Amino acid sequence: MSKTGYFTHPDCRRHEMGRGHPECPERLDAIDDRLLVTGVADALDRREAPLAGESRLALAHSRRHIESIQALAAELQEMGKGGLSDHLYIDPDTAMNPHSYTAFLRAAGAAVAATDAVIAGEMENAFCAVRPPGHHACRERAMGFCVFNNVAIAALHALENHGLKRVAIVDFDVHHGNGTEDILAGDERVLMVGLFQHPFYPYSGTNPRADNMVNVPVPAYTKGDKIRPMIEDVWLPRLEEFKPEMIFISAGFDAHREDDLGQLGLVEDDYKWITQQIKDVAKKHAKGRIVSSLEGGYNLGALGRSVEAHLRVLADL
């Protein structure tokens, strides 16, 4: 059995938000290409992401939000028949084309299916190479390229449908995971640890909304040598004390030095180190169970190399 699952689906490439948008289909090609050329792909248990059911979306989102996205999807289908423009904007950064709704369900479905497979013991851990990302998606609204919160849905699925009692979420994207915080602040079954550039989009996270949100704001131009001790001093003691039964990762790679969407200075070695810290906690308390899902990462070369580094640790390569 492969130790590490890799969940993805071609439908995730068909969602696109207009020419020049950084959250583009080529991101997934960059990851796939890198994993193929380095041989890492051979070591992974590759699986097709299923479509998430509505009941799964409703774990993290209001009925009103789900229905508003479905209404846009229906409108796009109608527009398609008339040959009109094929994008609708949900917020200034976030658009839908006629294929987007299916991609949304695949992205959430990947995280849910990965959770099922890991809890069933079919694999120790898993990575979801999906788009759109999810960590800015709030209970009531889409924002910042995100529509449904893939990681929050999967974490709640583990709690509600698999009977786990404590799960941790680790978010190392350059942006604060405000959507995950919106959905899970105050839920004592969840501990979220995050780091993000501050001050920076979405300009939140410095006043945590509840004790289960452990945020580490980091000034622009900080590198790994300063970030590693912050993780050791702030994240690790809380994770250790919490003893999660499973760990979810909002794996954004836009804190990479070469990524122009943020100004932090992480490199591949830092992603390796961070992943190893998470894995050590998972080994100790959670039977090694980790589900990691792609969030940001917009420099295609750096994204491919960083995901490779992350997966090499997850898969012991």
Shortest distance in whole angstroms from residue 296 CB to Zn ion? 3
Shortest distance in whole angstroms from residue 195 CB to Zn ion? 12
The two structure tokens encoding residue 51? 């479509």
Shortest distance in whole angstroms from residue 264 CB to Zn ion? 11
Cα–Cα nearest to 281, from 90, 163, 125: 125
Cα–Cα nearest to 19, from 86, 107, 103: 86
Instruction: Give me the amino acid identity at 200.
Output: F
Q: Which is nearer to Zn ion, 202 or 208 (CB)?
A: 202
Q: Does 171 bind Zn ion (CB under 5 A)?
A: no
**Helix or strand (DSSP H, E) at 192:** strand 190-197
The two structure tokens encoding residue 128? 């979801």
Q: Which is nearer to Zn ion, 98 or 252 (CB)?
A: 252
The span from the CA of 168 to the CA of 249, in Å, is 8
Q: Does 131 bind Zn ion (CB under 5 A)?
A: no
Catalytic site residue from 136, 157, 176, 256 = 136
Residues 232-271 binding Zn ion (CB under 5 A) are 252, 254
* Catalytic (active site) residue 136: yes
Ranked by CB distance to Zn ion, the top (closest) residue is 296
Shortest distance in whole angstroms from residue 94 CB to Zn ion? 13
Residues 175-214 binding Zn ion (CB under 5 A) are 175
Q: Are 110 and 293 in contact (CB under 8 A)?
A: yes
Q: Does 296 bind Zn ion (CB under 5 A)?
A: yes
DSSP state of 152: H
The upper half-sphere exposure of residue 285, i.e. CA atoms within 13 Å in the direction of its Cβ, equals 20
Residues that bind Zn ion in the complex, under the rule CB under 5 A: 173, 175, 252, 254, 296
Which residues are known to be catalytic? 136
